[in-house]
C-alpha cells in the first residue's frame, strides 16, 4: 500500500479522526497478530471476538491508526460500521491509484475455480496483486485492493456471491475492467431459489463493466455463455468451443495435456502442473485474460501450464515416503468440484487402489440430502475402491453408496475426524491414492494436514 495520511483516511470513510492528521498509514490488517509498523488496524466485531479488545496489542505491534466503531485508547478513525468503512476506503484508494497510474482491475467469479484461476493469473501477469487464499467477500476484497501500490499494473480480485446483489456491492467498491465468469453451478444453493438465480447473481459482474470493459466467458457453460450480450465486448474460452479453446485434450496421470487455439496463434501442447482435468477451464480463462492484458501468448501459456497451487488445500498432491499418495482438496466443495475430484483420483491412481474421504458440502439448504445421496451413487459408478464418509451432514453419501452396491468394507462411515484418521491408519497401504474433499467448514482439511504431516 502506498502511504496515505490519517486525515485522508478519515475523509475517505466519512469518519471522525482522533489523533494527528499527519499520521502515515502503509498497510491495513484485520488481525492484531498480523499488524506491522505503520499499519491501519481494522477492528471488527464478530460473533465470538470483538476486535476492539485487541487494539492495545495492535498498537504494541506498531499500528499507526485504528478503524473502529467505538473509541479506543489510541489514534483512531471512528465510524458507524467498520465493514462499510473498509469498503469506502478501498474505493477511494483504488480511485487514487487510477489517477496516478495505469492499473487494470480483473474480477473473477464462478461457482467453481475462482481461487485457482486467480492463482494462475498471479503467476502469469507482471506487476500483479492478487488475493491471499480466498479473500473474496466484503472484507477480503477491500483488503486485497489496499495491498496494491503505485507499481501495480494488474489487480486481480476474486469475487464470491452468496446472494443477489453481492457482486454489485463488490464492484462498487472496486470497479473492474475485465470480468471473468467461470461457471454457474450449485455452490451456495441454499441462498438461491434456482440455478437461474445463480446465473443472475454471477451476471452482475458482467453488468458492472464500463464501456471499455471486456467479459471473459466460459463457452462450455450455457448459462455463462448467455451473458455475452450483457458485455460491451466478450471473449469466450472452452474445452469444446470458444475464441480461446483447448485442442487435443488428453489426460496425463490426472493432469490435462492439450494445445490451444487463439484468434492470433496456435500454442504448443503443454501439460498442466495442476492435478485434475477440470483445471482446463481455469487455465483457459487465465490465458484468455492474459491475452486481453497484452501478454505474449507463448509466455502466458508457458507460465500458466507451469503454475502451481498457491492456496492451501486445493488439489495439492503429496507422495508420502510410505508409498501413499494424498490429494488434498479440502478447502471447499460443490457437487461439481466433488465429481471432478473423483475423476482426478482415478487418473492419479492409474490403476492403484483409490480411497475417497468425503465430508459435508455446506450451504446446500434443502438440497443437502439429495446432493450427498448423488455423490454416493457417483463413487460406486466410478468404481472407486473405498469410500470413507465423515460426519452426519454427509451420511446420505454413505447410505447411497451401500444402496448402490458398495458391499463389505468398500464404504464406511465415521462421525468424527479422529475416527477417520484411525480408519485410514488401519487400512492404508503402499500404492494407495487418497482424496480428501469437503467444504472448508467441515474441518476435514485438518485430516489432510495430519495425513501429509511434514511431507507437504
Same fold, 4-81 and 101-306: no
Q: Are 2 and 92 in contact (CB under 8 A)?
A: no
- The model carries a pTM of 0.86
So where are the chain's domains? 4-81, 101-306, 316-455
**pLDDT score for 252:** 84
Q: Which CATH number fits domain 4-81: 3.40.1390.10, 3.60.110.10, 3.20.20.70, 3.20.20.150?
A: 3.40.1390.10
Q: Are 329 and 435 in contact (CB under 8 A)?
A: yes
User: How are the residues of the chain apportioned to helix, strand and coil, as percentages rounded to the nearest 5?
Assistant: 40, 20, 40
The rounded distance, in Å, linking the Cα atoms of 11 and 85 is 11
Q: Which CATH number fits domain 316-455: 3.40.50.300, 3.30.70.2740, 3.90.190.20, 3.90.1150.10?
A: 3.90.190.20
Q: Which CATH architecture has domain 101-306?
A: 3-Layer(aba) Sandwich (3.40)
Give the residue from 353, 366, 333, 351 showing the smallest Cα distance to 436.
Answer: 333
What backbone phi and psi angles, to 5 degrees, belong to 62? 115, 10
Grid coordinates representing 136 are 473474496
pLDDT averaged per 10 residues, the chain (length 456): 97 98 97 96 93 96 97 97 98 97 96 92 97 87 97 96 91 98 72 78 97 98 97 96 96 91 95 92 98 97 94 87 94 89 92 96 90 95 96 96 88 96 96 95 94 71
In three-state secondary structure terms, 407 is coil
Sign (positive or negative) of CA dihedral 374, 380, 384, 387: positive
Which burial class, exposed, middle or buried, applies to 260 when counting CB atoms under 10 A from its CB (0-12, 13-18, 19+)? buried
Amino acid at each position: 500500500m502506498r502511504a496515505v495520511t490519517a486525515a485522508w483516511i478519515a475523509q475517505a470513510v466519512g469518519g471522525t479522526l482522533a489523533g494527528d492528521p499527519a499520521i502515515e498509514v502503509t498497510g491495513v490488517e484485520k488481525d492484531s497478530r498480523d499488524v506491522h509498523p505503520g499499519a491501519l488496524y481494522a477492528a471488527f466485531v464478530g460473533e465470538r471476538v470483538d476486535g476492539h479488545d485487541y487494539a492495545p496489542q495492535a498498537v504494541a505491534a506498531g499500528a499507526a491508526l485504528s478503524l473502529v466503531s467505538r473509541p479506543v485508547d489510541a489514534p483512531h478513525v471512528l465510524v458507524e460500521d467498520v465493514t462499510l468503512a473498509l469498503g469506502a476506503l478501498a474505493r477511494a484508494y483504488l480511485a487514487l491509484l487510477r489517477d496516478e497510474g495505469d492499473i487494470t482491475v480483473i474480477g473473477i467469479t464462478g461457482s467453481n475455480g475462482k481461487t485457482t484461476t486467480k492463482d494462475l493469473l498471479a503467476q502469469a501477469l507482471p506487476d500483479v496483486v492478487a488475493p491471499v487464499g480466498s479473500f473474496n467477500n466484503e472484507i477480503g476484497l477491500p483488503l486485497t485492493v489496499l495491498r496494491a501500490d503505485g507499481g501495480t499494473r494488474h489487480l486481480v480480485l476474486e469475487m464470491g456471491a452468496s446472494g443477489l446483489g453481492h457482486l454489485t456491492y463488490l464492484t462498487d467498491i472496486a470497479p473492474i475492467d475485465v470480468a471473468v465468469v467461470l461457471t454457474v453451478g450449485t455452490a451456495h444453493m441454499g441462498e438461491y431459489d434456482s440455478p437461474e438465480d445463480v446465473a443472475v447473481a454471477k451476471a452482475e459482474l458482467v453488468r458492472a463493466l464500463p464501456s471499455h470493459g471486456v467479459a471473459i466467458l466460459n463457452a462450455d457453460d450455457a448459462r455463462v455463455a448467455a451473458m455475452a450480450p450483457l458485455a460491451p465486448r466478450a471473449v469466450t474460452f472452452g474445452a469444446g468451443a470458444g475464441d480461446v479453446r483447448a485442442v487435443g485434450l488428453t489426460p496425463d496421470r490426472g493432469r490435462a495435456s492439450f494445445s490451444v487455439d487463439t484468434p492470433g496463434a496456435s500454442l504448443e501442447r503443454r501439460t498442466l502442473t495442476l492435478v485434475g482435468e477440470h483445471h482446463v477451464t481455469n487455465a483457459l480463462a487465465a490465458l484468455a485474460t492474459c491475452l486481453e492484458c497484452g501478454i505474449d501468448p507463448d509466455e502466458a501459456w508457458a507460465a500458466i501450464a507451469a503454475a502451481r497451487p498457491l492456496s492451501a488445500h486445493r488439489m495439492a498432491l503429496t507422495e508420502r515416503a510410505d508409498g501413499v499418495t494424498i490429494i488434498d482438496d479440502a478447502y471447499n466443495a460443490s457437487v461439481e468440484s466433488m465429481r471432478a475430484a473423483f475423476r482426478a483420483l482415478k487418473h492419479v491412481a492409474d490403476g492403484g487402489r483409490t480411497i475417497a474421504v468425503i465430508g459435508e458440502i455446506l450451504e446446500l439448504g434443502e438440497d443437502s440430502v439429495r446432493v450427498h445421496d448423488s455423490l454416493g451413487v457417483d463413487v460406486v459408478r466410478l468404481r472407486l475402491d473405498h469410500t470413507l464418509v465423515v460426519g452426519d451432514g454427509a451420511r446420505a453419501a454413505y447410505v447411497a453408496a451401500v444402496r448402490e452396491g458398495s458391499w463389505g468394507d468398500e464404504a464406511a462411515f465415521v462421525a468424527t475426524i479422529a475416527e477417520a484418521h484411525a480408519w485410514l491408519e488401519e487400512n492404508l497401504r503402499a500404492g494407495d491414492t487418497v482424496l480428501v474433499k469437503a467444504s472448508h467448514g467441515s474441518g476435514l482439511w485438518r485430516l489432510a494436514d495430519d495425513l501429509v504431516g511434514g511431507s507437504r
